[in-house]
A and B are shown apart, each in its own frame.
Chain A
Amino acid sequence: MSQVPDTRRLVLTHVVLVVLLAASIVAAFTLGRVDLEPAGSVRDLILSLRGARMSGAFLAGAALATGGVVVQGLFRNPLASPSILGTTAGASFGGQLALVVTQLVGIRVATPELLLPFGCLVGALLSLVVLLVFVRRSTDRLTLLLVGFIFGSLFLSLGGLMTSIAQERWELGRAVVAFALGSLGGVGMRQVLFALPLVLTAFVAAMLWARPLDLLLSGEREATSLGVEVHRVRRWCIVWVSALVAAAVSLAGSIAFVGLVAPHALRPFVGESHRRLLPAAALAGGTFVIACDVIARSLPGQGEVPLGVVTGLIGAPVFLVLLYRGRRKALDG
């Protein structure tokens, strides 16, 4: 691409994204295993449940895509995603721990449905704090990546331990495995309303930090010479990414590829500037997860196909195609 996308292309891209979002919303309300009755309380209940689930799907997808854009900008690596900081695994472990502890220990709380998002948030923040403690004196990105990878693996192992412990009770074991594989099955408006301020705050913060993230694309040395306080930007971006991931995992469990595919797919249409890429990727990520959830609950079978399986089955080949096209374009000059 010798020219960056012009205003016409940007407008057209956003129109297409909004149309796709509208189509996915219609599909989310109308498609499913239960046919909608012509009218009545059952129909209203189904629509209400589907509405909450669709909202949760959009928020989770938008959060992961936003997190993906921020992490890729921070690491100047389009193959980076929030999972490389270990935050996804931390949030997932926190959620699994919350499920297991409350069910096995028998803790009674007033709003049990909020324990899962709370656990995810604590898990994400824990992984963040541990990461920041370990990289406090380090200035290079490689150390951050390696420490993130190590803690990601540690939290995955701890999550595996939780899955193992949860097998003591069949229902609990099923819930923990479903959470690990990704699902929007139990999402209601309360969970959505819990996640919404997190996602909104982190998204607005990411937009406010779009300019320094643009400057960081030139490398830390150039960015510093232009007035960017690199350490401060990095630390705050990690906080926003953690909040986004915690919100997404609390809603949909562990779902892969959203943070990678959405920014990659949008770059040729909106360019690399974070101010343009962040909202477009959030729209695309949200739409992608709504569509995947519709597929997950519409496929024939005994139960729902896990959402994480669908995002992986669609996301992996799409990502490969995007990579191949990008590489071919680079080779063609």
Chain B
Amino acid sequence: MAELLKAEGLRVMRGKRAVLQGVDLTLRAGEVLGILGPNGAGKSTLVEALLGLIPSEGSVRYEGRPIAALSGRERAKAMAYVPQRSMLQAELSVREVVGQGRYASGGSTRDPEVDAELERVGLSAMSERAFPTLSVGEQQRVLIARALATGAKCLVLDEPTAALDVRRALETFALLRTLADEGRGIVVVVHGLEEARRTTDHLVLLDGGEVAASGPPSEVVAPEPIRRVYGVELVENDALGFRLSDS
């Protein structure tokens, strides 16, 4: 499948300390790429560097073009960001927040894309509600709808399920799979090992700002890398599992 995003030798300095070093990754269209690692491993920093939100060394290319060569609007139309929690506290309506995704294209909150993405995440009936009054799960869906409204082929999500209950988390990953099946590329920071193995096509395991393992989920969430990075033993076939009900 076509290569959407490619990072090579990515390095981020904080003062004189490298918080991210020598990171290589490739995201293809139709793929869900998971970023995994313990606290402080550099997952959010990697997301910010991929999006060009922080200065970095090395190269990040979107469809072969260096992202540094893209204007702010071009970048926004190529790669959409879904933060773990939005900083938005102002009482903008759900429609207005989703409409923000149309800014880079010069569109407005009345664009059909806004209605379509509201419908997709099941929030059409709440379009006039004030964003801060929604539950955390609903806010997360609004942020995903806003990202989709940009029309970007690549979605980058920072721990989208961190504050969600099991059902909402499963629904979110089901939505990400649908989006990937439609041809988008998804980069998602995941916290849970079981979740990472079950929901992604490719995993990058970070440790201390460096790639500790990279490959298919079954090879990354495996006894040896998990012992090395987390210092715990992986117990196979002894974990609880969940899936969405058919009804």
Contact pattern, B 70-111, Cβ under 8 Å of A = 1, otherwise 0: 001101110111010011111111001100110110000000
- State whether the Cβ of B53 lies closer than 8 Å to any Cβ in chain A: yes
Check A214 against B96 for contact (C-beta < 8 Å).
yes
User: Which of chain B's residues have a CB closer than 8 A to the CB of A271?
Assistant: 91-93
* Closest beta carbon of chain B to A182's beta carbon, Å: 31
Docked-complex contact A218 and B100, CB < 8 angstroms: yes
- Residue A219, interface by CB 8 Å: yes
Q: Closest CB of chain A to B232's CB: distance in Å?
A: 33
Q: Which residues of A contact B87 (CB under 8 A)?
A: 76, 218-219, 221-222
Q: Once the chains bind, are A3 and B129 in contact (CB under 8 Å)? A: yes
Asked if B92 and A4 sit within 8 Å, CB to CB, the answer is yes
Contact A6 B100 (CB under 8 A): no
Q: Decide if A2 touches B72 in the complex (CB within 8 Å).
A: no
Q: Provided the pairs A214-B100, A222-B83, A226-B100 are in contact, do residues A272 and B72 lie with their beta carbons within 8 angstroms? A: no
Q: Could you say which residues of chain A place their CB within 8 Å of the CB of B79?
A: 225
> Which of these, B81, B90, B91, contacts A225 with CB under 8 Å?
B81
Q: Please determine whether B92 and A226 come into contact, CB atoms closer than 8 angstroms.
A: no
**Partner among B48, B72, B73, B93 whose Cβ is within 8 Å of the Cβ of A4:** B93
Interface size bracket, B side: 20 to 34
* Assembly CA distance A13 to B186 (angstroms): 45
Closest to A217 in B: B90
B224 at the interface (CB under 8 A from A): no
Whether A212 sits at the interface, judged by CB under 8 Å, is yes
Q: Is the CB of A228 within 8 A of B130?
A: no
CB of A224 within 8 A of CB of B72, answer yes
A211 is an interface residue with CB less than 8 A from chain B: yes
Interface of chain B, helix or strand or loop or mixed? Answer: mixed
Q: Which one of B93, B100, B128, B129 has the greatest number of beta carbons of chain A within 10 Å?
A: B100
Q: How far is the CB of A73 from chain B (nearest CB, A)?
A: 9
B128 lies within 8 A of A272 (CB): no
Are A4 and B103 neighbours in the complex by a CB distance under 8 Å? no
Nearest CB of chain B from residue A71's CB, rounded to whole Å: 14
Q: Does B150 contact A (CB under 8 A)?
A: yes
Say yes or no for B220: interface residue by CB 8 A criterion: no
Chain B residues whose CB sits within 8 angstroms of the CB of A1 once the complex forms? 91, 130, 133
Do residues A215 and B103 form an inter-chain contact, with CB atoms below 8 A? yes
Is A106 located at the chain interface by the 8 A CB criterion? no
In the complex formed, the residue of A with least CB distance to B93 is A4
Q: Which residue of A lies closest to B104 (CB)?
A: A227
Please report A residues at the B interface, Cβ cutoff 8 Å.
Answer: 1-4, 6, 76, 211-212, 214-215, 217-219, 221-222, 224-229, 267, 271-273
What residues make up the interface of B, taking CB atoms closer than 8 Å to A?
Answer: 48, 51, 53, 72-73, 75-77, 79-81, 83, 86-93, 96-97, 100-101, 103-104, 128-130, 133, 146, 150
